[in-house]
Structures are given as C-alpha cells and as structure tokens.
Chain A
C-alpha cells in the first residue's frame, strides 16, 4: 500500500479539454510536490506546495494543496499534446525529512 494514492491511473483526452489529477493520503504532509516524467527520462519537478489551502499556477497548470495537508490536485486547462506524460505526486511527512515518497502516477495522453 502506497502512502499517496493517485487517481485516475490513466487519462486520455482531446486537445483543448480540461483535466484534473488527484493525490490523496491519510497522512499529513509538510509539503507536496508534483513531477512530470517523459519516457526514458527521470521525473522533472513542476511545483512544491507547503501551506494548507495553497494554490499555485504554472501557465495552464493549477496546483492545490488541501486545507488539512493530506491531499492535492493538479488541474490542466485546455490541454495540449505537449502535456502528455506521467504525472507523479510526492510528499514529505512531518516526521520524515529527506524521505520523499511518491504516488503511483497518472498517465496523461492528450491527442490532437
């Protein structure tokens, strides 16, 4: 059982549509991060959220950290084929500094 549960596991949408990926846990996190991974490469950091209720925007991507710091979401507006990739959430709990743990990931495919 993984500490972070991501849903859905797979998402296929058309260019221009919106999508939301969820990351949930029963544990409280000091911070959560979102990464994107392309085939054959390591994950690349997109954003870090540290405050409960925090919302961060990165162009068409909106990240939210839950008020209780147990969950997060990633929303993509008007998805483009370049958004295709594996999206991973990862977090540090309050008692495990340095021990970054990942969810299983959400594979997003955006078709033209």
Chain B
C-alpha cells in the first residue's frame, strides 16, 4: 500500500518553463489537494478536488492548473514558472465519512525556479 506518491522529489526549472507535478493515491480517497509550504507560512492550499471531474481553487491558485480525470491521479501544472513559485509542494488525499476524514500526505516535491 503506497499511500500518496509524488514525483519528482526535486526539480529545478528556468523562469518561463512549464512542468507537471504528479500525484497518485491508491486508497480510493475522494478528496485530493495540493499545498505549497514556504518558511513561516505553514501550508497554503493551491487547488483541491472533492471527486473525479470536480476541482476548485484554494488560497493561492494563480499560476497553477489542475484536473482530476480519475480518482487516483491529481496532477498540478505550472504554466510558466516564476521564482515566486520556488517552494515545497505537497499533495494530500482523504476519505470522507460524515464528519470523519483523514488526510494522508505525500513526501513532497522541492521545486526551485531560477
């Protein structure tokens, strides 16, 4: 049982390049989310999904796109990388049963934009 798998673990991009961060979960969770973590700011929500075909914006969505064509996968696309997008990115998934939920996080992708 792999849980939440993120690839790549590290990436260096040049300003203006585009790329996709991959996220896959094998727990049949309905909810999936992308966060970025910067020093002193905790985790900020970029985009989230409550099921296949359904996505919505979080706190900091500008410069990022997502889609959710399957339950398992939730890729995050950087359209035109900027130095301000240098960060550690975490993908998470959760089940939902009434008031009960529990997010499992991947181990993160450390992205540097130069």
Contacts and interface: CB of A to CB of B under 8 A. Distances in A.
Given A45-B103, A97-B50, A103 B108 contact: no
Contacts of B106: 42
Interface in A56-101: 88, 90, 92, 97-101
Contact of A102 (B35, B100, B101): B35
A9 B41 CA distance: 10
Nearest to A105: B42
Interface string B18-57: 0000000000000101010000111111001110000010
B103 A33 contact: yes
A55 interface: no
A100 B44 contact: no
B45 A100 contact: yes
Contact of A42 (B40, B42, B50, B92): B92
Nearest to B58: A99
A102 B40 CA distance: 12
Chain B contact residues: helix, strand, loop or mixed: strand
A88 B43 contact: yes
A104 B99 contact: no
A42 B45 contact: no
Contacts of A41: 107-108
- Residue from A2, A9, A45, A98 having most chain B Cβ neighbours under 10 A: A98
Contact of A99 (B42, B56, B96, B105): B56
A27 interface: no
9 contacts: A41-B108, A43-B103, A48-B102, A98-B48, A98-B50, A99-B58, A100-B33, A100-B48, A101-B59
Interface of A: 2, 6, 9, 30-31, 33, 40-45, 48, 50, 88, 90, 92, 97-105
Interface of B: 4, 31, 33, 35, 40-45, 48-50, 56, 58-59, 90, 92, 94, 96, 99-108
